[in-house]
Amino acid sequence: MPILNGPSRQPYAGGAPDSLGILLHGLGADGNDLIGLTIALGPRFPHMAFHSPDAPNPYVEAGFGLRWFPLEPPDERMAGLREAGRIVETYVGELLEQYALTPDRCVLIGFSQGCMTSLYTAPRMERPIAGVVGLSGSLLFPEWLADEVRQKPPIVLVHGDQDAVLPPESTAKAGQTLADLGFPVEAYLLQGLGHSIDIRGLEIASQFIERVLAPPDGAEQSEPPTS
């Protein structure tokens, strides 16, 4: 199984992290495409470590960039998505062990094909993570999910109404499917936004992350580990 690598950012405040953000890029990009989001997210979550791994496969059809799974034919897309899910879950587990964190301190943040990969992976993980931020993506093979779901982490979906790459209706459909299966899900359609991430989407994502990482009512926030 491929080992993922890519750019990372240690906590803005220094010291050991108390939480982990995994950024999964879109088709034809690499980990550098999303690590820049930490310019905004780092100060907002000063004790969070961010990792933005490169997808394991070259985007052969385009001749540049990387992909989490092939687009065609459908059988290869299915197999590739399953393999990507296994790879991402293993990667998350390795980082949680490295930082001595529990899964409920981890958030997956995926854009486009990275969103598809996040929405596939998180419900099938052995242990539940804190939540999923899905940006400009879709839920692939929804017919699988009812029989394969193991966890139902909170999910927020954000899509631009001017997206010419993935239709905005894909987020509405994903949100409805997830809600019907009992997932805590929110979906937002942003006016005037194409296949991209803007400050509005980052604010929605940040507020969601603050909620899912907040200590339970009556509990005190734990201090970041010291080693």
b/e burial code for range 38-53 (CB count within 10 A of at least 16 → b): beebbebbebbbbbbb
Judge whether 136 counts as a catalytic residue: no
As given in the structure block, the two tokens for residue 203 are 């604010």
- C-alpha dihedral sign at 217, 206, 127, 96: negative
Looking from the CA of 24 toward its CB, the CA atoms found within 13 Å total: 35
Cα(222)–Cα(216) distance, integer angstroms: 11
Task: Let me know if 104 is a catalytic residue.
Answer: no
Identified catalytic residue from 8, 104, 195, 206: 195
Catalytic-role residue among 52, 112, 118, 138: 112
Per DSSP (E only), the strands in 88-192 are 106-111, 131-135, 155-160, 185-190
Annotated catalytic, 112?
A: yes
Q: Which of 19, 25, 163, 170 is catalytic?
A: 163
Closest CA to 34 of 17, 57, 55: 55
CA distances from 130 to 108, 127, 136, 166, 221 (A): 8, 10, 20, 26, 15
| Residues with catalytic function | 112, 163, 195
